[in-house]
């Protein structure tokens, strides 16, 4: 029986994104440039209906390093990663 993979969640405050797009240079498969407002879109993410402008996406450890890198280079700190098991903030 295969062990369950550790899960994480990225929380992205798109409203406060300033469009530098360094996130997309580190993980272009998950951060796309929106042609309408030049901000990053979280590919496959969902906007939180209770918090407009906040986008989330759950992912497994295979993507952790690339999501961490994209969060760490964000100049306005709008990308946060949480461990779903512990609730701890990773970045």
The domains found in the chain, sorted by start residue, are 7-83 (3.30.70.20)
Please tell me the predicted confidence (pLDDT) of residue 62: 97
Residue 9: which of 49, 48, 52, 50 has the closest Cα? Answer: 48
Please, which residues have CB within 8 angstroms of residue 68's CB and are 6 or more apart in sequence? Answer: 81, 90, 91
pLDDT digits (tens, 9 = 90+) for 55-84: 999 999 999 999 999 999 999 999 999 999
pLDDT at 38 over 90: yes
Judge whether 28 and 76 are in contact, CB under 8 Å: no
Percentage of the chain exceeding pLDDT 90: 95
- CB neighbour burial string for 6-43, b if at least 16 within 10 angstroms, e if fewer: eebbbbbbbeebeeebebbebbeebbeeeeeeebbbbe
Is the predicted pLDDT of residue 2 greater than 90, yes or no?
no
pLDDT band per the 50, 70, 90 thresholds, residue 34: very high
Give the pLDDT score at 3: 67
pLDDT greater than 60 at residue 86: yes
Model-wide pTM > 0.75: yes
pLDDT at 39 over 60: yes
């Amino acid at each position: 029986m295969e062990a369950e993979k550790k899960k994480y969640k990225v929380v992205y405050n798109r409203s406060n994104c300033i469009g530098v797009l360094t996130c997309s240079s580190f993980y272009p498969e998950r951060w796309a440039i929106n042609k309408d407002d030049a901000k990053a879109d979280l590919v496959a993410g969902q906007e939180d209906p209770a918090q407009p402008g906040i986008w989330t996406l759950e992912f497994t450890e295979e993507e952790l390093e690339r999501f961490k890198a994209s969060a760490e280079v964000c100049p306005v700190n709008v990308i946060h990663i949480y461990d779903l098991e512990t609730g701890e903030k990773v970045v």
